[in-house]
């Protein structure tokens, strides 16, 4: 195991060059999960209405290396790092890349949950952005659980 004394968390937003279909997203996720697991990287990816929000966390150097690769990925553009901060513990320790496609037509999120990230970039306050990201991840964990129980 890598020492956990230099964990870094980065949150960025970006815009798909052209809308991602389910197959394209599935392929991106399959590859990312396998690679992230090998590199001890965790995080989450949200995609909605042509926009991505990704949190990546892990050993600082590996996070930075991957970000440099992702930044040159031609499938998206306008990448903006909104948060980059050292962390004590992983927020997404159990995920090599949690993902939930959020249908635009879906019913509004219940009170207390955020279901959009359109305003994230407008907020100049990193802690507000982090809070928003946490709310988002919580919301899609709930949805994931619901989808799993629906499938049963
Ligand atoms: C929005 C977005 C998020 C991505 N996230 C990851 C990721 O978490 N891990 C990863 O390995 N690649 C990720 N990629 C893919 C990388 O940009 C790059 O294509 C990949 O690392 C190259 O892997 P390969 O050399 O195995 O093809 C992402 C790409 C995009 C557009």
Place 51 in a pLDDT band, splitting at 50, 70 and 90: confident
- Compute the mean pLDDT over every residue in the chain, rounded to the nearest whole number: 78
More confident residue, 3 or 13: 13
Backbone phi, then psi, for 33, in 5-degree steps? -60, -45
- Residue 104 reports pLDDT greater than 70: no
Residue 68 confidence (pLDDT) = 98
Kindly give, in sequence order, each residue whose CB lies less than 8 Å from that of residue 54, ignoring residues fewer than 6 positions away. Answer: 11, 12, 14, 43, 44, 45, 46, 70
Kindly state the average pLDDT of the residues 59-63.
97
- Residue 78 reports pLDDT greater than 50: yes
Residues 81 and 20: their CA atoms lie apart, in Å, by 21
Q: In this predicted model, what pLDDT tens digit does every residue of 93-102 receive, in sequence order?
A: 766 665 655 5
- Ligand 1, residue 69: give the atom nearest the CA: 17
The single-letter DSSP state of residue 1 is: -
**Cβ of 134 less than 6 Å from ligand 1:** no
- Ligand 1, residue 76: give the atom nearest the CA: 31
- Residue 77 reports pLDDT greater than 70: yes
Place 6 in a pLDDT band, splitting at 50, 70 and 90: very high
Residues 135 and 64: their CA atoms lie apart, in Å, by 25
> Residue with the nearest Cα to atom 22 of ligand 1?
69
Residue 107 confidence (pLDDT) = 58
**Cβ of 96 less than 6 Å from ligand 1:** no
Going from the N-terminus, what domains does the chain have, and what CATH number goes with each? 7-151 (3.30.70.100)
Kindly give, in sequence order, each residue whose CB lies less than 8 Å from that of residue 24, ignoring residues fewer than 6 positions away. Answer: 75
- Residue 48 reports pLDDT greater than 50: yes
**Cβ of 17 less than 6 Å from ligand 1:** no
**Cβ of 120 less than 6 Å from ligand 1:** no
> Residue with the nearest Cα to atom 30 of ligand 1?
70
**Cβ of 36 less than 6 Å from ligand 1:** yes
Residue 22 confidence (pLDDT) = 83
| C-alpha of 76 from chain center | 14
Q: In this predicted model, what pLDDT tens digit does every residue of 113-142 receive, in sequence order?
A: 555 666 666 666 666 666 666 666 665 555
**Cβ of 42 less than 6 Å from ligand 1:** no
- Return the half-sphere exposure (C-beta side, CA atoms, 13 A cut-off) of residue 148: 7
């Amino acid at each position: 195991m890598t020492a956990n004394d230099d964990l870094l968390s980065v949150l960025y937003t970006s815009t798909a060059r052209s809308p991602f279909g389910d197959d394209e997203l599935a392929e991106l996720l399959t590859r990312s999960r396998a690679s992230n697991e090998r590199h001890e990287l965790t995080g989450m990816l949200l995609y909605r209405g042509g926009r991505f929000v990704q949190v990546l966390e892990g050993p600082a150097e590996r996070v930075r290396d991957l970000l440099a690769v992702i930044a040159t990925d031609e499938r998206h553009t306008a990448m903006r790092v909104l948060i980059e901060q050292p962390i004590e513990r992983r927020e997404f320790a159990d995920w090599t890349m949690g993902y939930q496609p959020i249908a635009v037509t879906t019913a509004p999120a219940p009170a207390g949950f955020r279901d959009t990230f359109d305003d994230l970039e407008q907020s100049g306050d990193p802690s507000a952005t982090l809070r928003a990201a946490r709310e988002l991840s919580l919301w899609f964990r709930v949805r994931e659980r619901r989808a799993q129980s629906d499938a049963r």
